[in-house]
Structure 1
Amino acid sequence: MKIIDLYIIKKYLGTFGFMLGLLTIIVLIIDVQAKAPRIESNGFTVGEFLIDFYPYWIINLIITFMSILVFISVIFFTSRIANNTEIVAIISSGASFHRFARPYLMTSGFIAVLALLINHFVLPLANIKKNELEPYTYNAKSREEFTGNAEIATQLSKTEYIFIKSYNKKEKRGSGFIYQKLDKNRKLIYQLIANEFYWQKDKKHFVLNSYLEKTITKDESEKLGNGDSMTKSFGHPPEELFPDVLLGQNKTTPELIKFIDREKEKGNANLNSYLNELYQRTSMPVSVIILTFLGLSLSSQKKRGGLGVNLAIGIALAFVFVFSFEVLKVVSENKTLPPLLAIWLPNIIFAPVALYLYFKRANQ
């Protein structure tokens, strides 16, 4: 069976590699053509994006569609060897269906482990590069959310808050700055107001210009102070203090867990998008194994209609999987479902279906 194992593994990886390359080329060409006008209107060239953006974007694309490509690849090559009666010959030689399925498990396990490592440690580094330029591929309204001025309200801890009238994330400066600190009874004990402020990256602190500070003592008297300029550190850079939806993508899993824990300590209740990012890094690789066995079960018998029927079923199920996954992410961000349940629900549903069809096929 070792020869047959190697034969199936080569078929699996060869078909998967071909599908991966084909998808990458097609989607890359379509995406570049669609986004070229926006790229050039923002002062960049397509050549610059092909070097500084798309290599990292492709890594994200591959990971996003990996489980679906695996599913379609398994259906494609398994249907072909089933139609050639190769599976019948292998089973007739005395091998059980479970033994025949072993190379599928080995290969899908290898891909899943590789995807886990990439998801948790490599993809975030690629996303840092990707997300620096991605806003310049958006339309003007969407781009403004990441590169323009925005009003900020954030909680530093259970008793500390920052409010900013206008803040530019790209330049890391703004106007209308207010910092407030409360006591355990939720009464104001300190307030700092500045007309303008900016972040000094080399010294890792904010510079506040034209500031006014007020301290309220225990006897409720007020002490006022003002000046032209002062420096203030809040313990973290602006990206951490004023996070956007892309921040979670840029952090390796240990960094993301620390960030989520810190936000929980601060009392931040808007963490579902970051929790979705954390949980999907594991759930998507696991789906590779589930969809492999689902594809094997659906395509390992010769059917009337052959490859076309199996591919049609596979593409339909792949669409259902991807659609349900994306819908559940939105549902989770709206706090209708807990993130852990929402992200794992497609696997929870598809895993019993895959097991049932697999054992049904094995017992035939």
Structure 2
Amino acid sequence: MFTIIDRYIIKKYLGTFGFMLGLLTIIVLVIDVQAKAPRIEANGFTVNEFLVDFYPYWILNLIITFMSILVFISVIFFTSRIANNTEIVAIISSGASFHRFARPYLLTSGFIAIVALLLNHFVLPLANVKKNALEPYTYNAVSRDELTGTAEVATQLSKTEYIFIKYYNKKEKRGSGFFYQKFDKNHRLIYQLNASDFFWDKEKSHFVLTNYLEKTINKDDTEKLGNGNEMKKSFGHPPEELFPDVLLGQNKTTPELVKFIEREKDKGNANLNTYLNELYQRTSMPVSVIILTVLGLSLSSQKKRGGLGLNLALGIALAFVFVFSFEALKVVSSNNTLTPLLAMWLPNIVFGPIAVYLYFKRANQ
């Protein structure tokens, strides 16, 4: 049963959080549109198209990314205000313990964390499909070409199958210099396929290879050669699955991402840290909402010299260190210095005990 004080704190929490959310959205949207408008228009789009087809999904991604910061600053802001007005002293003096006072904070942060979990695992990936389709056209030419231009490709389809492509255009899903090899369990080459050009037929879900040459090696080492103008070939998956880029993990819901990672492991792909980082961060970031709520409450629930300004400065500094440590740890994990699971949970592992210590220290004062 919620008391008047519970409802008051929950209203303050959600109201301040909503205000911060709206303020961040408006400021960042205006700044980002102004900065990216020249590149958008240089790529043949209009800003209005992006405001409809890109920015709503981009904003959702931004909100999830900075939700921990917004929660922390919101808690610091409104708790410092009621502490400076001696409202917390009055509540505790009336007989309520600090633990009882903290209950609406924990309930509200738990609610936000659950919503963030659902968004992270199931809603945000669907938004990322829309966002990532257009985001390369907001980059400079070099960064854009990394995602939409022509590149050399080498991929492992299974433990015995490999594809090498000299030139592959990721946007058009076509290329030249196609080379496929298949080995037996003893690593002996048993089949080889070359093609001068190829493209992906989306409607029929197969590759079309032109000017191909194939070679089959029998058990007695004799060879059977074949060639032709056109061959239809399916490798079980579309190009975005066979030749994944760094954005693919963002586009998959968690069940889809888990299946993709398992399939890549079965193929023998050891370079999965980018996708594992994405998977583990989807849970660790929402959990950080609760940790930062406890930390913010502990730091700002006592009236201090310097008041709201000092608490906000400290809160903003800690929040940015916390959230941007995730980005730094992604790089560390991608270089195989830390495992993805440890890297994505390390900020919570470090800040969690600190938050608990400060909370009980404040409760015992």
> TM-score normalised by the shorter chain: which range applies?
over 0.9
Aligned counterpart, 1:39: 40
Task: Provide the rounded CA distance (Å) in 2 between the counterparts of 1:68 and 1:316.
Answer: 10
One-letter identity of the residue aligned with 2:50: F
1:265 aligns to 2:274 (yes or no)? no
Task: Provide the rounded CA distance (Å) in 2 between the counterparts of 1:25 and 1:137.
Answer: 19
Aligned counterpart, 1:113: 114
One-letter identity of the residue aligned with 1:175: S
Helix, strand or coil: the match of 1:11?
Answer: helix
1:10 aligns to 2:16 (yes or no)? no
Aligned counterpart, 1:20: 21
Aligned counterpart, 1:320: 321
Aligned counterpart, 2:287: 286
Task: Provide the rounded CA distance (Å) in 1 between the counterparts of 2:225 and 2:57.
Answer: 51
Task: Provide the rounded CA distance (Å) in 2 between the counterparts of 1:202 and 1:152.
Answer: 23
Aligned counterpart, 1:227: 228
Aligned counterpart, 2:218: 217
Aligned counterpart, 1:163: 164
Aligned counterpart, 2:176: 175
Aligned counterpart, 2:257: 256
Helix, strand or coil: the match of 1:101?
Answer: helix
| Consecutive unaligned residues in structure 1, runs of 5 or more | none
Task: Provide the rounded CA distance (Å) in 2 between the counterparts of 1:168 and 1:294.
Answer: 48
One-letter identity of the residue aligned with 1:170: K
Task: Provide the rounded CA distance (Å) in 1 between the counterparts of 2:317 and 2:56.
Answer: 29
Cα shift at 1:207? 0.5
Helix, strand or coil: the match of 1:7?
Answer: helix
Normalised TM-score (structure 2): 0.99
Residues 107-164 of structure 1, C-alpha deviations (whole Å, 9 max, x = no match) = 0000000000000000000000000000000000000111111100000000000000
Cα shift at 1:326? 1.2
1:144 aligns to 2:145 (yes or no)? yes
Root-mean-square deviation (Å): 0.6
Task: Provide the rounded CA distance (Å) in 2 between the counterparts of 1:152 and 1:165.
Answer: 7
Aligned counterpart, 2:349: 348
Q: How many residues align?
A: 364
1:30 aligns to 2:31 (yes or no)? yes
Cα shift at 1:324? 1.7
Helix, strand or coil: the match of 1:154?
Answer: strand
Helix, strand or coil: the match of 2:221?
Answer: coil
Task: Provide the rounded CA distance (Å) in 1 between the counterparts of 2:140 and 2:93.
Answer: 59
One-letter identity of the residue aligned with 2:120: N
Residues 227-246 of structure 1, C-alpha deviations (whole Å, 9 max, x = no match) = 01010000000010000000
Aligned counterpart, 2:195: 194
Task: Provide the rounded CA distance (Å) in 1 between the counterparts of 2:255 and 2:327.
Answer: 24
Maintained 8 Å contact 2:68/2:323: no
Task: Provide the rounded CA distance (Å) in 1 between the counterparts of 2:236 and 2:271.
Answer: 21
One-letter identity of the residue aligned with 2:208: V
Maintained 8 Å contact 2:92/2:98: yes
Task: Provide the rounded CA distance (Å) in 1 between the counterparts of 2:214 and 2:47.
Answer: 49
Task: Provide the rounded CA distance (Å) in 1 between the counterparts of 2:323 and 2:115.
Answer: 21
Helix, strand or coil: the match of 2:66?
Answer: helix
Helix, strand or coil: the match of 2:167?
Answer: strand
Q: How does 1:72-91 map to 2 (within 5 A)?
A: 72-91=73-92
Q: Which runs of 4+ in 1 moved over 2 A?
A: none
Maintained 8 Å contact 2:179/2:193: yes
Cα shift at 1:184? 1.3
Maintained 8 Å contact 2:273/2:334: yes
Cα shift at 1:328? 0.7
Helix, strand or coil: the match of 1:304?
Answer: coil
Q: How does 1:234-253 map to 2 (within 5 A)?
A: 234-253=235-254
One-letter identity of the residue aligned with 2:296: G
Cα shift at 1:265? 0.2
Cα shift at 1:322? 2.1
| Consecutive unaligned residues in structure 2, runs of 5 or more | none
Aligned counterpart, 2:299: 298
Cα shift at 1:183? 1.1
Task: Provide the rounded CA distance (Å) in 2 between the counterparts of 1:99 and 1:146.
Answer: 52
1:276 aligns to 2:277 (yes or no)? yes
Task: Provide the rounded CA distance (Å) in 2 between the counterparts of 1:101 and 1:146.
Answer: 47
Task: Provide the rounded CA distance (Å) in 2 between the counterparts of 1:30 and 1:69.
Answer: 18
Helix, strand or coil: the match of 1:335?
Answer: coil
Cα shift at 1:319? 1.9
Residues 14-57 of structure 1, C-alpha deviations (whole Å, 9 max, x = no match) = 00000000001001011001100000000000010000000000
Does 315-324 or 65-74 show the bigger shift?
A: 315-324
Cα shift at 1:323? 2.7
One-letter identity of the residue aligned with 1:130: K
Cα shift at 1:256? 0.1
Aligned counterpart, 1:92: 93
Residues 53-107 of structure 1, C-alpha deviations (whole Å, 9 max, x = no match) = 0000000000000011000000000000000000000000000000000000110
Task: Provide the rounded CA distance (Å) in 1 between the counterparts of 2:150 and 2:227.
Answer: 26
Residues 249-280 of structure 1, C-alpha deviations (whole Å, 9 max, x = no match) = 00000000000000000000110000000000
One-letter identity of the residue aligned with 2:21: L
How many percent identity over aligned positions? Answer: 85
Task: Provide the rounded CA distance (Å) in 1 between the counterparts of 2:36 and 2:214.
Answer: 47
One-letter identity of the residue aligned with 2:62: L
Task: Provide the rounded CA distance (Å) in 1 between the counterparts of 2:148 and 2:115.
Answer: 34
